[in-house]
């Protein structure tokens, strides 16, 4: 141990001595280097000639003979025993304010008040079913006595002059005359009440009407009459540019003049056209027919004036108007296109709301089609439908299924040649159903609207009026009644006509037909074939098909030389769905011959006003196989005056095969014609609708009559050979069932 201590001391002395020598060397070297380092700093200055004493402190490192532990302070993480709240930055959504447009309601001047439906959040019980308008009393200055009805007037017989028209044979070989002239007036016995002055009192100033006039009473039609008298109206409405209230007032005044006119005095019923009285902007309330309301006894709307007019002239009135109605289960007010029927006492006896609408924004329809009829005191039950309804099964054919054969029909029809011009389709429908169709049409050429008439089933038109001239005209026509048998007709057989004599048609010559802006069918989708004049010497036999639907054509023509070729004709076939400008669709089947202006299909269906001097059809026979159930096949003809051919100028039959559900429809031209625009078969197929319509040729022998001359309808349903067979069968059955009576018999 001692040795180790001595050895360590010696080692320390040696190390210290060496360290001291190195430090002395370093100190000396540092002083010299210091002087040399500042030499440049003082160069060129006067300070280098002065004696300067510098004191330098030298730090020496002394070696320690043993290592010394130096405590070093370093940061140490210390865990805190308590939680520390640390603020965490999160994104903050700052709401930015932007300008918002707020609709401010300001008062606007309205020319007239109009009803505004108010939706109630809760159900409110309604205690009054009928809207009642209470007039505000006001003083009235009476300057003179008011004439009133005398309960027991003194009747004096009077003779009234009435024009009677005579019809000459037309250039087409038929009794139709496109010109008429008046004969010497005939005398009709009527009665005139001397003091029957009329005062129509109305609390509405807009519709105040006071008249003092002589009233003439004609003999009414009765249940025992073979016919009844109707009046139809072709009416041009005022423009919509005038105030609505004034427009309605003008129309009502015109209605009044027509109803009171001498021409209408013989009529039992007067029918007015569609949309020619008021509008959606001034609808009226119409009472329920079941309430038996007579508005004339009430207070003032246009309904009151119409009711009073019906009572005054003692006639049935059929008026189309815009109706407002509050639907309770929806708590809203809606508007309907409505036909209203008044009886001779002014009572509302029928109300029909149009179901199939065409271009009528703002008008509503009922949840289901209404089947509306009304009875008259002359023994005829009428069905009611409006314009576009005629092309559909509901409600039109549903009324036919109920046995109706007399219909009133207000219309605003837009013509669409070559198959759907107004009087053309009206007469076609009436012929196929064998019904009396009473049509009053709106006259508005810019919309293609014109067409009024009375159509007597298989007898054709009793009256037809198609014109481009603005007109407000009333026509009176005597219509033969239809015999509706009490027996059930098998599979929709058609009843016979009461009066077998064919009435003489009267087609009023139209003027300015080029002003009527008509539509056009979609002929580019048809299968067509042009008739070439070179085929004139031969009979053209052709079968044409559109898909699986085919038609057979047999055509004979005659060429008149040396006239130039002015008319071109095409055979056409179509079967499929068509649209009516997007408002409705229907399935149609068509076979026909149509006229064209030139060889282009685009020229077909355009208006032609003159007969062809070049070519004449001597025979046309067209037949096709159509679906039977649900299909209404109709004859479809049109001449250059925009009228159908007379019923005796063609034959039309439909033979139904109930087993195969097909009907063979045939149409044949009876007499030569050079004035054809259309000749063919037009059929509507109503799917999922049970309906058959067989059409036979008229029987050569008239129906059997009893001793009083009344037709029992038997001969129109079963021919005489069939009766004999049935009689023999009945005898055979009686023999087999009761053989004991053979000897007695």
Q: Where in the sequence numbering do the catalytic residues fall?
A: 274, 354, 387
Alpha-carbon Rg for the chain in angstroms: 51
Question: Do residues 692 and 636 make contact, with C-beta atoms less than 8 angstroms apart?
Answer: no
Angle CA(642)–CA(643)–CA(645) in degrees, nearest 5? 135
CA 426 to mean position of chain CA atoms: 17
Of 228, 164, 254, which is closest to residue 408 (Cα–Cα)?
228
Q: Left if phi > 0, otherwise alpha if psi is -120 to 50, otherwise beta: which for 434?
A: left
Q: Quote the longest CA-to-CA distance of the chain.
A: 193
Token pair 């549903």 is found at: 398
Residue 174 CB coordination number (10 Å):
20
Of 379, 437, 397, 431, which is closest to residue 413 (Cα–Cα)?
437
* Residue 633, C-beta contacts closer than 8 angstroms, at least 6 positions apart: 432, 589, 626, 654, 663, 665, 681, 682, 683, 693, 695
* Residue 460, C-beta contacts closer than 8 angstroms, at least 6 positions apart: 427, 431, 502, 505, 644, 646, 647, 648
Residue 653 CB coordination number (10 Å):
17
Beginning with the edge strand found earlier in the chain, give each strand of the sheet holding 332-342 in spatial order. 348-353, 332-342, 316-327, 269-271, 227-235, 472-480
Beginning with the edge strand found earlier in the chain, give each strand of the sheet holding 615-627 in spatial order. 540-546, 549-559, 615-627, 662-669, 650-657
Alpha-carbon gap, residue 365 to 338, rounded angstroms? 10
Question: Do residues 193 and 213 make contact, with C-beta atoms less than 8 angstroms apart?
Answer: no
Structure tokens at 708: 């009083």
Of 568, 630, 628, 559, which is closest to residue 593 (Cα–Cα)?
568
Token pair 């005898």 is found at: 731
Three-state DSSP state, 263? helix
Q: How far is CA 711 from CA 12, 86, 459, 495, 497, in A?
A: 165, 111, 18, 11, 9
Q: Is the preceding peptide bond at 441 cis, omega within 30 degrees of 0? A: no
Structure tokens at 603: 């020229």
Question: Do residues 262 and 161 make contact, with C-beta atoms less than 8 angstroms apart?
Answer: no
């Amino acid at each position: 141990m001692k040795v180790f201590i001595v050895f360590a001391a010696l080692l320390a002395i040696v190390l210290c001595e060496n360290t001291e020598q190195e430090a002395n060397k370093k100190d000396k070297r540092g002083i010299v280097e210091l002087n040399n380092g500042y030499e440049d700093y003082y160069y060129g200055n006067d300070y280098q000639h002065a004696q300067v004493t510098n004191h330098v402190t030298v730090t020496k490192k002394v070696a320690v003979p043993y290592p010394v532990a130096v405590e070093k302070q370093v940061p140490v993480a210390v865990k805190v025993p308590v939680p520390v709240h640390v603020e965490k930055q999160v994104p903050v959504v700052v709401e930015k304010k932007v300008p918002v447009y707020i609709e401010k309601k300001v008062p606007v001047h309205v020319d007239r008040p109009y009803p505004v439906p108010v939706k109630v959040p809760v159900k409110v019980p309604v205690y009054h079913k009928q809207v009642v308008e209470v007039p505000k009393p006001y003083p009235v200055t009476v300057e003179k006595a008011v004439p009133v009805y005398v309960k027991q007037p003194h009747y004096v017989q009077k003779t009234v002059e009435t024009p009677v028209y005579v019809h000459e044979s037309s250039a087409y070989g038929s009794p139709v005359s496109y010109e008429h002239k008046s004969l010497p007036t005939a005398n009709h016995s009527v009665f005139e009440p001397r003091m029957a002055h009329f005062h129509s009192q109305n609390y509405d100033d807009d519709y105040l009407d006071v008249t003092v006039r002589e009233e003439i009473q004609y003999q009414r039609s009765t249940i025992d009459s073979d016919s009844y008298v109707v009046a139809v109206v072709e009416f041009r409405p005022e423009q919509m540019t005038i105030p609505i209230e004034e427009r309605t007032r003008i129309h009502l005044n015109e209605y009044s003049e027509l109803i009171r006119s001498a021409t209408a005095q013989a009529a039992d019923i007067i029918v007015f056209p569609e949309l020619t009285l008021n509008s959606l902007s001034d609808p009226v309330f119409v009472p329920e027919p079941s309430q038996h309301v007579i508005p004339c006894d009430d207070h003032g709307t246009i309904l009151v004036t119409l009711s009073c007019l019906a009572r005054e002239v003692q006639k049935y009135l059929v008026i189309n108007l815009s109706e407002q109605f509050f639907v309770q289960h929806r708590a809203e007010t809606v508007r309907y296109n409505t036909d209203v029927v008044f009886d001779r006492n002014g009572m509302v006896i029928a109300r029909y709301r149009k179901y199939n609408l065409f271009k009528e924004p703002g008008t509503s329809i009922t949840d289901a089609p209404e089947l509306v009829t009304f009875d008259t005191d002359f023994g005829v039950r009428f069905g009611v439908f409006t314009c576009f309804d005629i092309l559909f099964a509901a409600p039109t054919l549903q009324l036919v299924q109920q046995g109706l054969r007399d219909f009133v029909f207000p219309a605003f029809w837009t013509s669409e040649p070559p198959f759907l011009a107004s009087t053309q389709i009206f007469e076609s429908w009436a012929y196929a159903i064998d019904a009396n169709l009473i049509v009053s049409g709106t006259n508005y050429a810019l919309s293609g609207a014109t067409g009024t008439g009375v159509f007597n089933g298989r007898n054709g038109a009793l009256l037809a009026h198609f014109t481009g001239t603005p007109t407000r005209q009333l026509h009176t026509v005597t219509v033969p009644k239809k015999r509706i048998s009490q027996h059930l007709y098998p599979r929709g057989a058609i009843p016979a006509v009461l009066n077998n004599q064919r009435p003489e048609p009267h087609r009023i010559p139209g003027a300015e037909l080029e002003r009527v802006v008509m539509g056009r069918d979609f002929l580019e989708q048809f299968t067509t074939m042009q008739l070439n004049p070179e085929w004139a010497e031969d009979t053209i036999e052709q079968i044409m098909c559109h898909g699986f639907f085919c038609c057979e054509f047999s055509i004979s023509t005659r060429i008149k030389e040396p006239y130039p070729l002015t008319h071109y004709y095409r055979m056409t076939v179509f079967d499929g769905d068509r649209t009516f400008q997007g408002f409705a669709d229907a399935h149609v089947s068509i076979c026909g011959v149509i006229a064209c202006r030139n060889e282009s299909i685009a020229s077909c269906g355009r208006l032609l006003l003159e007969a062809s001097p070049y070519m004449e059809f001597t025979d046309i026979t067209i037949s096709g196989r159509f679906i039977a159930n649900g299909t209404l096949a109709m004859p479809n003809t049109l001449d250059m005056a925009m009228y159908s051919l007379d019923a005796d100028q063609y034959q039309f039959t439909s033979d139904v095969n109930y087993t195969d559900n097909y009907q063979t429809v045939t149409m044949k031209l009876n007499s030569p014609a050079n004035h054809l625009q259309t000749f063919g078969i037009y059929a509507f197929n109503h799917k999922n609708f049970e309906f058959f319509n067989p059409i036979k040729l008229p029987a050569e022998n008239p129906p059997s009559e009893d001793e009083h001359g009344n037709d029992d309808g038997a001969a129109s349903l079963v021919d005489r050979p069939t009766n004999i067979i049935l009689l023999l069968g009945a005898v055979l059955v009686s023999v087999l069932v009761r053989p004991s009576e053979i000897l007695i018999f």
